[in-house]
Structure 1
Amino acid sequence: MDQKYLYLKRMLVMLSMLAGIYGQAAAQEKVLDKYIQDGLSNNQGLRQQHFLLEKSLYALKEARTFFLPEVNLSSSYLVSRGGRKISIPIGDLLNPVYSSLNELTNSAGFPQVANVNQTFNPSNYYDAKFRTSLPLYNAEITYNMRIRREQIHFQQAEVDVYKRELVKEIKVSYYAYMQSREAVAILESAVALAKENLRFNQVLVNNDKAIRTVVSRSENELIGLEARLGDARFQSANAAAYFNFLLNNPLDTVIEAEKTSQENPRNDPEPAGKREELLKLESAAKVNLLAEQLAKASFLPKLSTFIDLGSQGDFAKFNRNTRYYLFGITLDWRVFAGNRVQYQIRQAELEGKAIGQQLSQAEQQLNLHTLTALNRFQSAVQVHQAAKNQVLLSQQFYQDQQKLYREGQLLYIELLDAQNRLINDQLQQSISFLNVQTRSAELERAKASYVFL
């Protein structure tokens, strides 16, 4: 009767352990999707990428402003002494005439005038003006704006690359945390079994049906399992901390963990999308082509117009005589620059060829990456299936060995061997399923098949 009771108790412990391992995959994926959205919203690294994207948007807005009129206020005030002078013999020219006029009129109405020495530098003089300028034709401004627009596409691809990598990391870290919980549950069940075996062996020794050695061996086995359980709990805490780090949550935040189903995912979860790494290289090639056209545009003339509205004269004087306007058109055409532009064009051409080779190589590498990820996933599925079968065999073997030991037909060391084999196979099954989930996330990343909400 006692043997049947112990057997049923162990079966209940085993079933509860299996119930903790096998659950609903749909519920887990729902929780995981929620965490992924939280990570995409809160991750600090992704925020940095968004800041860089926003910076590129403002760079494009800046480039567009070069097509608009520009108004500048400039002013100057001059005070001078000395310097170059010009002599104006006003006295020598006018004084004889004035003297004759005074004699004729018998008066002093025409005074004598002194010669003048006028300096070239003005003194107590100001000049203030608003200059409005507008480019009429400048090809370099057009190509600069196109470059800025293409750099936005490049940065957007950079953000998407980071997002896909973050999704993979969140999934892998969540799977690792779930596996660590399963490992804790398996070892907790193993500790419970070890305690039950210790109690049963103590009963045998007290009834003189076994020697003291079996109790010592049971105690040592229990101590070893409890040590492994403590280490598994620390590993689970570390996995939870890293997962919270990815989500930018406090490291001790409680993680919502749904029961997992160890049904293998599909070999081909989603149709493949275009890798953002290729989009980045394509944008880089377009930027380089525009840079080449920008260099060629320096051969073209630049035409612009301006108008000045200002006032100049003695300081603090402002009237109709000091006000002025000045309108003009400027033409700037580079005639010779020592083949500088040709060298720039050649550099852009070589850079374009290098990017083309890099793009071709990247396509081959990504195809290889996808193929390798698919093969690893399929291999992990096969290993996990073998691990599941091994657990079933180990479980049946342990039950048979336990029955024999209860009947006194088996040594305790043989029962321990069956028990350790069962525990190790259960842990190996949990690890193999983690490997399946990890390989599935890697395959999804390689194919860029995750659809962002």
Structure 2
Amino acid sequence: MKKSPFNLLLIAICLYCIPFKAMAQYKLQDYIEEALKNNLELRNQDFMFQKSIYALKEARGLFLPQVEMSTQYLSSEGGRKIEIPIGDLLNPVYSTLNNLTSSGRFPQVENVSQAFNPNNYYDAKVRTTLSLYNAEITYNSRIKKEQINLRQAQLMVYKRELVKNVKLAYYGYQQSLQSVKVLENGVALANENLRINQSLVKNGKAIRTVISRAQNELTGLEAQLENARLQSVNAAAYFNFLLNKPLQSAIDAGEPDSSTLPADTLGTRKREELQVLESAEKVTALALKMNNSYVLPKLSTFIDLGAQGDFLKVNAESPYYLFGVTLSWSIFTGNQYKNKSHQAALELRSAQNQTSQARQQLQLEAETARNKLIGALQAHKAAVSQTSMSQQYFKDEQRLYKEGQALYLELLDGQIRLINDELKQTMALLEVRSKQAELERAEASYIF
């Protein structure tokens, strides 16, 4: 649909009215998505999750028929033999028959000595086995399935932790830039005071001591500024490390936004840490059932399709099939499975206790984080008010000093108070943002 000029003008006005500070939040969201995509440790966690999926497929494969081919060739000599007296049994009969028939149609035969070990013998077959009933296979498959939920919850735990760390690193970098800016302004004020003092001394309205004091103050501020710049470089390196980028990569930090500080929280969701413990509890309960299943029978079937006979000889009698059903039932195993069941039962009770304890700890963590955020908001409000007062105080002292109605120490005190209060304000804003990120983590309120 074609937009009218009035609509286009309205859209342009709305876009212009959006605070530029809010763009930093959109950029932060882009960085979070980049970290979730590129972070190396998160990739490792995803590998473990994918591994658990294949483990489930492996467990489910035990329900399917297993087919394998095997071939063996046997060659032997010596060993035990069995004597078969064929000659002793048949030769008297054959002699009598020859006499009666006056012929030699019934020859004499020798006794047979047959070795137990086959010689020059092959057996090639394809065996297919299928488990008809095995409770251990069933419980093992359920365990692998629950372990997928556990790995998935662990993956979400790391994602939330990564989001929190990226936000803290981003806010820390913003705060370091603001500290640099405050100290740069402080250096500018110190240079201005030095210029004013030099002018006053030149006109005979002040002694030279004020110039030395102003120079010392300027040197101290320049040292603080250099240290703040180094801290900003370190903060940027850590932030890029979380994003798996070169440590010297540029960061679009924008301006810290203090106009959208949180007024309330979104409410607590179920923490993935609890899901991890609950899944571990279910895995332990299934392991207990699997250990107790030793009292149940195991039923399976197999069929062999193959050929056997003298080596390299295949005839109509060589092919064969062998079908069977196997039923096994453990009668007595020295109480091994029974003791394993007792161990699994204790592990289950321990897992249940850990889940209950973790639930209380997470509730305490969320409540503590919420109270810390409220305290940080109040501290930031006080810091903003104090900075405003310090700015006015410094302006008044600077005006009075130029008019000769105030001491340099009073001006210097106003300058130091202003710089310190501005630094405190940036720290207070960082504290608010940090506590907000920690509360978001404690309540699991970030939406992926």
TM-score, normalised to structure 1's length? 0.91
Q: Which residue of 2 aligns with 1:174?
A: 170
Partner of 2:6: none
Given candidates 395, 405, 411, the residue that maps to 2:391 is 395
Aligned pair partner of 2:221 in 200, 222, 225: 225
1:85 alignment partner in structure 2: 81
Q: Aligned-pair distance for 1:130?
A: 0.5
The answer for the alignment partner of 2:328 in structure 1 is 332
Match in the other structure for 2:28: 32
**Cα distance in 1 between the residues matched to 2:439 and 2:261:** 11
1:275-424 aligned at under 5 Å gives the runs: 275-424=271-420
Deviation at 1:267, TM superposition (A): 3.9
Q: C-alpha separation between the residues in 2 aligned to 1:133 and 1:144? A: 19
Number of equivalences: 430
Question: 1:89-145 CA distances to partner (integer Å, 9 max, x unpaired)?
Answer: 333334445555666677666554333222111111111111111111122211111
Task: Select the residue among 408, 417, 439 that pairs with 1:443.
Answer: 439
Indicate the residue corresponding to 1:156 in structure 2: 152
Deviates further, 124-133 or 215-224? 215-224
**2:269 counterpart (263, 269, 273):** 273
- Cross-structure match for 2:9: none
SS at match of 1:262: coil
CA-atom RMSD in angstroms? 1.7
- Structure-1 separation of matches of 2:111 and 2:151: 73
Alignment of 1:427 with 2:423, yes or no, is: yes
Q: Give the match for residue 239 of structure 2.
A: 243
- After superposing the two structures, state which structure 1 stretch, 92-101 or 418-427, moved more: 92-101
1:120 partner letter:
F
* Alpha-carbon contact 1:191-1:222 (below 8 Å) kept: yes
Map of 1:143 onto structure 2:
139
Q: Which moved more, 1:198-207 or 1:434-443?
A: 198-207
Tell me, yes or no, if the aligned pair for 1:264 and 1:381 is still in contact at 8 Å: no
The counterpart of 2:48, out of the listed 49, 52, 59, is 52
The separation in 2 between residues aligned to 1:202 and 1:28, in whole angstroms, is 42
Kindly state the Cα deviation for residue 274 of structure 1 after the two structures are TM-superposed: 0.5
CA drift at 1:271 = 2.3
Q: 2: distance between equivalents of 1:35 and 1:180?
A: 18
CA distance in 2 between counterparts of 1:72 and 1:285 reads: 38
Q: Does 1:184 align with 2:180?
A: yes
- Between the aligned partners of 2:276 and 2:119, the Cα distance in structure 1 is 61
- The aligned amino acid for 1:404 is L
Question: What is residue 133 of structure 1 aligned with on the other side?
Answer: 129
- Which letter does structure 1 place at the counterpart of 2:185? S
Deviation at residue 214 of structure 1 after TM alignment: 1.7
2:161 pairs with one of 157, 165, 168: 165
Distance (Å, rounded) in 2 between the aligned partners of 1:24 and 1:404: 37
- Contact persistence 1:28–1:259 (CA under 8 A): yes
How many angstroms apart in 2 are the aligned matches of 1:261 and 1:70? 64
Deviation at 1:318, TM superposition (A): 2.0
Greater displacement, 216-225 / 195-204: 195-204
Structure 1: which amino acid aligns with 2:52?
S
Structure 1: gaps spanning 5 or more residues: 1-22
Q: Report the AA paired with residue 137 of structure 1.
A: Y
Report the equivalent of 1:8: none
- Is contact 2:196-2:402 (8 Å) kept? no
Q: Distance in 2 between matches of 1:87 and 1:370?
A: 88
Structure 2, gaps ≥5 residues long: 1-18
- Hey, what's the Cα distance between the residues in 1 that align with 2:375 and 2:68? 70
Give 3-state SS (helix, strand or coil) of 1:41's partner: helix
TM-score (norm 2): 0.92
Residue equivalent to 1:41: 37
User: 2:15: which partner in 1?
Assistant: none
* Residues in 2 aligned to 1:232 and 1:89: alpha-carbon distance in whole angstroms: 107
Amino acid at match of 1:252: Q
Which of 176, 189, 194 lines up with 2:190 in the alignment? Answer: 194
Please state how far the C-alpha of 1:25 moved relative to its aligned partner.
Answer: 4.4
CA distance in 1 between partners of 2:260 and 2:381 (Å): 9
- For residue 268 of structure 2, give the secondary structure of its aligned residue in structure 1: coil
Percent identity (aligned): 58
Specify the code of the residue in structure 1 equivalent to 2:347: E
* Aligned ranges 1:253-264 → 2 under 5 Å: 253-263=249-259
TM-aligned CA deviation for residue 410 of structure 1: 1.9
Query: What residue identity is the alignment partner of 1:350?
Result: L
Structure 2 counterpart of 1:411, which letter?
L
- Within a 5 Å distance, the mapping from 1:89-100 to structure 2 comes to 89-99=85-95
